[in-house]
Amino acid sequence: QDLEQGQSREQPWRQHAAPMHQQYIAPQLAVWQSIEHQRQQLHQHGQMLQQELVLQEALMQQQLQHQEQLLHLQLQQREQQLQLQLQIHIRQQQQRQQAPPQPVTEVVMVDQHGQPLILRQLFAESGVTQTIVWNDDGSHWAFGERTVTSLLDNNVDQTNAWVASLSDRQLHGLVHELARRFVEGSQRRKQRQADDETQRVSSSYDFFGLREEATDKELDNAYRRLARAMHPDKNGGTDEAKEAFQAMKERYELLKEHRAGGLGRGGPGGEGDGRADGESEASGQAQQQQQQPTCISYDPSDRQSLHQAASEFVRQLHVLQQDASCMHQQAGKGGA
């Protein structure tokens, strides 16, 4: 209003406003300018942060894409490796199924160059064994189960005639096969006898109602109790009562000898085998010969020695065959 009234009052107002501007407005203006400057700095800093975040996000996306591609490539390589391993395994399985099993080979005789002339083969899966002999003309002979069976079925004259027709090398291979079968058969017979002994001892303990840990006194008491109950005089004196009493007594003697550390008399032809007296007496001498250790030696370079050894091995294999048949029949009777 003072400015509208004229220039006369303009100068005093200017003089009055200047100090007010310096005292009030100028400090506020400085504060505002400082705030504005800080706002601009913050705005610039925010823009820089935003740009940095955008760059970092782009960089992270690139890294993630790179890692994803790398992982995908590794998975593809691993899948290819597994497929290759699977194909190799399938191929190996097919080869094993197609290829016949390789036998275990024992070289018996070689020539001057180290080439095998006689060898024995064992097929583990089937248990088949045979001795192969290579002849000078390149052919070969095989002595196996059918050869041994034929020798056991033929008579002595037929066997000797056939053996005489063999060459020295063929006879050597035949004797080797017979010798190995005799050793294997003897081991099986020994194992059968041990199993039979164990079974009869166990059944005898069950017969007396005892365990193997029972004392000798408990065994004696059980025997006396059954002896009084099974005595033939108390059971009519019949043959059946006498046989039952004798069988009980043989079981007792078997356990006593077994507990004393002996081999027992439970082998075929011994006491307690369940055979009649006539049968035991008839086979007693043959059984005694079977239990004697047999040692058959021969000279591979001597044809007469090989021929004698072949005849003896055939005879011993006959004994083993009869013994196995006898034990099988006894086992059938015991099971019945």
Q: Is the pLDDT of residue 99 over 90?
A: no
Structural contact between residues 241 and 235, judged by C-beta atoms closer than 8 angstroms:
yes
pTM here is 0.56
Position with higher pLDDT, 66 vs 331: 66
What's the rounded mean pLDDT across residues 199-213?
92
pLDDT band at 245 (very low <50, low <70, confident <90, very high): very high
Most confident by average pLDDT, 255-269, 277-291, 315-329:
315-329
Lowest mean pLDDT among 21-25, 43-47, 141-145: 21-25
- pLDDT the model gives residue 19: 67
Evaluate if residue 162 carries a pLDDT over 50: yes
φ/ψ of 109, rounded to 5, equals -150, 140
Q: What is the mean pLDDT of the chain?
A: 82
**How many CA atoms lie less than 13 Å away from 80 in the CB half-sphere?**
6
295 pLDDT more than 50: yes
Q: How confident is the model at residue 280 (pLDDT cuts 50, 70, 90)?
A: very low
Q: What is the pLDDT of residues 139-154, one digit of tens each?
A: 999 999 999 999 999 8
Residues linked to residue 110 through DSSP beta bridges, in sequence order = 116
Strand-strand pairing, 116-123 and 128-134: antiparallel
Over the stretch 191-204, which tens digit does the pLDDT of each residue have?
988 888 899 999 99
Cα–Cα nearest to 314, from 146, 144, 128, 149: 149
Report the range of poorest mean pLDDT among 182-196, 263-277, 316-330: 263-277
**Dihedrals φ, ψ of 121, to 5°?**
-115, 140
Q: What percent of the chain has pLDDT over 70?
A: 80
Residue 190 pLDDT greater than 70, yes or no: yes
Q: What is d(CA 106, CA 131) in angstroms, rounded to the nearest whole number? A: 9
Res 223: pLDDT? 93
Q: How is residue 134 annotated by DSSP?
A: E
